[in-house]
Amino acid sequence: MIRGLAKIGGIAGVFVALGLVPMLTGGSETKSGETVFEARCSTCHPTSRPLGETKTADEWRETVTRMQQHAAGQISDEERETIIQYLSEVRGK
């Protein structure tokens, strides 16, 4: 078992060294944005709700900032920016 894990670790190390991890994980800010969006926004409402809308980046900023205030302490400023960027990319005008 340990030998198998060592092999996996070695292979993962090669991918990291070659910069292939983003390619394997779907890699961009969009993926991490999607992850943060799903984790934070789904605690209050279905994610289909905001994904059903199309807004400008400024409109998304206004909406996400308002949601951050409603969810007091649940969304950090960094997560807010990540969510805004993600929604602007996938549901922007």
Q: Which of 34, 47, 44 minimizes the C-alpha distance to 71?
A: 44
| Length of the chain in terms of residues written | 93
Task: Give the domain extent around 73.
Answer: 26-91
Is 6 among the domain residues?
A: no
Which residues lie below 8 Å from residue 43, measured CB to CB, with a gap of 6+? 71, 74
Q: Give the count of domains, the chain.
A: 1
Model confidence, pTM: 0.67
Alpha-carbon torsion (9, 14, 82, 51), positive or negative:
negative
- pLDDT digit string (tens) for the chain, length 93 residues: 555 444 555 554 444 444 444 444 454 455 699 999 999 999 999 999 999 999 999 999 999 999 999 999 999 999 999 999 999 999 999
Is 36 among the domain residues?
A: yes
- CATH number for the domain spanning 36: value is 1.10.760
